[in-house]
Amino acid sequence: MPSQDQPRILVIEDELPIRKFLRILLESQGFVVTETDTAAKGIGHAVAEPPDAVVLDLGLPDRDGLTVIQQLREWSQLPIIVLSARGRESDKVAALDAGADDYLTKPFGAGEFMARLRVALRHSSRVATGIESAPFQVGDLMVDLSRREVTLGGESVRLTPTEYRLLVVLVRNAGKVVTHRQLLKDVWGPDSVSENQYLRVYMGQLRRKLEHDPARPQHLKTEPGVGYRLIDE
Ligand code: CA
């Protein structure tokens, strides 16, 4: 019997080699794994015994993975990491906008997968416990949302109100990819979700203030065709 404190991961994926890879990897890290090969069975498992996170393939035999996300999000905020084929940026964006936490492009490595999963689990426990007030700190960048304070290498950084709002959205989602649409909606409002040039301009400004080499950002990473990610580890 698995003990109560071992986190449980539900894997919904029709490719057997990927399921095997994930099972071996996750079990070696102390997770309990349930695997299933269709959307319908996956939703059934998630309802019967809600896991701590779901790993979801977008290309399933019976239903689009996107509908699985939409169904899960009707009643649950549990972390969802999607797996998708290379070159399907629009699928990833649709999945993230539907409420998935993050994505991995096949083929992916063990380290990359575990990093995404750790971030998603950490984020969900922070949200669940309401502990979002601790300052965000990685490398020499520190963002303290409760004090509205940003420092780089101990030096205070002055941001415009819009730059700060953009950074706040990224900090609240630290480690996770945030889509262009989500950033535009949260910073500029629902009428601006297609104004991608706002983002390019303000992300450039943020990088000039927060990166030692803005051309090779260490904190504010671009996810091509999808959005941006604030690196948190
Ligand atoms: Ca598939």
pLDDT in tens, 49-59: 999 999 999 99
Q: How far is the CA of 14 from the centre of ligand 1 (A)?
A: 5
Q: How far is the CA of 127 from the centre of ligand 1 (A)?
A: 31
Q: How far is the CA of 224 from the centre of ligand 1 (A)?
A: 23
The pLDDT, as a whole number, for residue 170 is: 96
**Mean pLDDT, residues 111-133:** 83
The residues placing their C-beta within 5 Å of ligand 1, an ion, are 14, 57, 59
Q: How far is the CA of 61 from the centre of ligand 1 (A)?
A: 7
Q: How far is the CA of 15 from the centre of ligand 1 (A)?
A: 6
Angle of helix 180-188 versus helix 196-210 axis, rounded to 10: 90
The CA distance from 54 to 188, in Å, is: 31
**How sure is the predictor about 131, in pLDDT bands with cuts at 50, 70 and 90?**
low
Q: How far is the CA of 57 from the centre of ligand 1 (A)?
A: 6
**How sure is the predictor about 127, in pLDDT bands with cuts at 50, 70 and 90?**
low
Angle at 70 between CA 64 and CA 73, to 5 degrees: 145
The pLDDT, as a whole number, for residue 117 is: 96
pLDDT in tens, 198-214: 999 999 999 999 999 99
The pLDDT, as a whole number, for residue 214 is: 94
Q: Which of 48, 134, 58 is nearest to 100 (CA)?
A: 58
